[in-house]
Amino acid sequence: MGTVVMYSSVSVDGFIAGEDDQPGPLFDWLVSGDVPLDESGALTVSQTSFDYTRPYWDAIAVTIVGRHVFDLTDGWDGQPPSGVDHVVVVTHRPEPEGWDPAAPFVFVDGVEAAVAAAQELAGDRIVEVAAGDVGGQVFAAGLVDEVRMDVVPVVFGSGKRYFGALDVQHLLDGPEAVVQGSAVLHLRYRVRTSN
């Protein structure tokens, strides 16, 4: 099975969006450099951020998100984001009306089912779990191998937490990587198997 990675850009005080679901400046680092991060050329980062981020993005096969993120993005119009092969959506509701059944999206009820479906689709490639409520649930269930954060120099004060509603201490190993980009600090931790 591939590695399960919880990931997001995050404020210094641990938020992935404001109360209004807006990321504010959390993605500014993705347009602050001169090296294209993808084929579109819309994302440009520093060489350091490219060297850290591009190999990770290339290794992701499946992304797990909650229905809230799916709805906020309008399901990416049926095209998984950033070259990901599949998206697994954790939801208690059916697929949206008129949804194309051929789109590479799987709708499941529960985080354990989401990780199982994602790992089946990913093989030995990375399963990425979007941080937030669903990511926090996957983390609390002990199903995350690694935590990645792109820490942006902003303090939100309140908003949507990186680990969602998680309220129990968990220890991490590392950091395994600390990479300073332009307007971002990339961090990677392994999750301890026992606390």
> What secondary structure does DSSP assign to 72-122, as a single string?
HTGGGGGS-GGG-SEEEEE-SSPPPTT--TTSSEEEESSHHHHHHHHHHHH
d(CA 108, CA 73): 18
Q: Which domains does the chain have, with CATH numbers?
A: 4-191 (3.40.430.10)
CA torsion, ordered 111, 4, 66, 15, to nearest 10 deg:
120
Structure confidence by residue, pLDDT tens digits, 22-53: 999 999 999 999 999 988 889 999 999 999 99
> What mean pLDDT is predicted for residues 126-138?
97
Q: Considering the entire predicted model, what is its pTM?
A: 0.94
d(CA 64, CA 82): 13
> What mean pLDDT is predicted for residues 132-160?
97
Confidence grade of residue 193 (pLDDT, cut at 50, 70, 90): confident
Q: Is the pLDDT of residue 70 over 90?
A: yes
Q: Is the pLDDT of residue 108 over 80?
A: yes
- pLDDT at 41 (0 to 100): 86
- pLDDT at 194 (0 to 100): 66
> What mean pLDDT is predicted for residues 182-188?
97
d(CA 159, CA 162): 9
> What mean pLDDT is predicted for residues 187-193?
94
In sequence order, which ranges of 1-122 are alpha helices (DSSP H)?
A: 47-59, 67-72, 111-122
Side chain identity, residue 88: V
Confidence grade of residue 158 (pLDDT, cut at 50, 70, 90): very high
> What mean pLDDT is predicted for residues 157-176?
94
For residue 82, count other CB atoms closer than 10 A to its CB.
14
